[in-house]
Amino acid sequence: MHSRIALRIISPVLLLAAAAAVGGPQEDIAGMMPGLTPEDVQESPLPGLYEVAVGSQIVYISADRRYLIKGDIIDLSSNESLTEARRNGLRLAEVAELDESTMVVFEPEEPKHTITVFTDVDCSYCRKLHREMDQLQAAGIRVRYMFFPRYGPGSESWKKADAVWCSEDRQAAMTMAKNGGEVVAKACDDSPVSGHFELGNRIGVRGTPAILTEDGALMPGYIPAPELASYLERG
């Protein structure tokens, strides 16, 4: 499954399977590894190299199966990473598969931009970013929170995330939790925390906050509201 393969680093299983795969039609390549589809394999921008993508993780394999490249392809004429541009698109596609109703959304009166923030309620910089919610909202920035308890299942942060989701007023509960307050809520069956956590791992979240922009860029760490607004305005 993708969630088992695309962890925080490229899995050795992906590397070995990809190396063995190249040389046949996309369907045959996809068949070499559980969870891969033909859409996960395509020709790269460089002749003779194939791209294999799982989640937003990408490796390149030479057509003769001899060489595997883990790194970015840079277009020197534009100084642009073609690999990162591809990752951006893959991240957006992954997140788009998730229903927004599973997120905690803070909506400004006149939204101009949307960011998706992977957050841990106990993370100090996540709390710092949340304290600037009024500034973000005033700048027309719509914030979609997804849960990413850094210490994983069973951690206190995970339990707090579940409590936030199971609260009647999730926005108020999120704010209370990030202010250090105790959120008390009855357990519910529809918590999305596990799905959010797996998705974060697939798209390369390493810590929190992790801010996914409208163009698919994944920005790690806290960014002050004015700087974030300026970045989004520049597009």
| Domain map (residue ranges) of the chain | 2-74, 100-234
pLDDT band, very low/low/confident/very high, at 91 (cuts 50, 70, 90): very high
Name 182's Cβ contacts closer than 8 Å, sequence gap at least 6: 176
What CATH code would you report for 100-234?
A: 3.40.30.10
- Structure token digits, residue 60: 């390149």
- Residue in 87, 150, 166, 202 annotated catalytic: 150
Q: Is the pLDDT of residue 100 over 80?
A: yes
Name the residue type at position 71: G
What CATH code would you report for 2-74?
A: 3.10.450
Q: Dump pLDDT digits (tens) for 101-130.
A: 999 999 999 999 999 999 999 999 999 999
Instruction: Respond yes or no: is residue 202 known to be catalytic.
Output: no
Contact 40, 22 (CB under 8 A): no
Instruction: Respond yes or no: is residue 166 known to be catalytic.
Output: no
- Residue in 40, 87, 91, 126 annotated catalytic: 126
Q: Dump pLDDT digits (tens) for 140-199.
A: 999 999 999 999 999 999 999 999 999 999 999 999 999 999 999 999 999 999 999 999
Break the chain down into helix, strand, coil percent, rounded to 5. 40, 20, 40
Contact 10, 70 (CB under 8 A): yes
- Residue in 40, 86, 122, 123 annotated catalytic: 123
Instruction: Respond yes or no: is residue 188 known to be catalytic.
Output: no
- Residue in 40, 120, 122, 162 annotated catalytic: 120
Name 80's Cβ contacts closer than 8 Å, sequence gap at least 6: 74
Mean pLDDT calculated for residue range 33-58 = 78
Instruction: Respond yes or no: is residue 150 known to be catalytic.
Output: yes
Name 124's Cβ contacts closer than 8 Å, sequence gap at least 6: none
Q: Is the pLDDT of residue 207 over 80?
A: yes
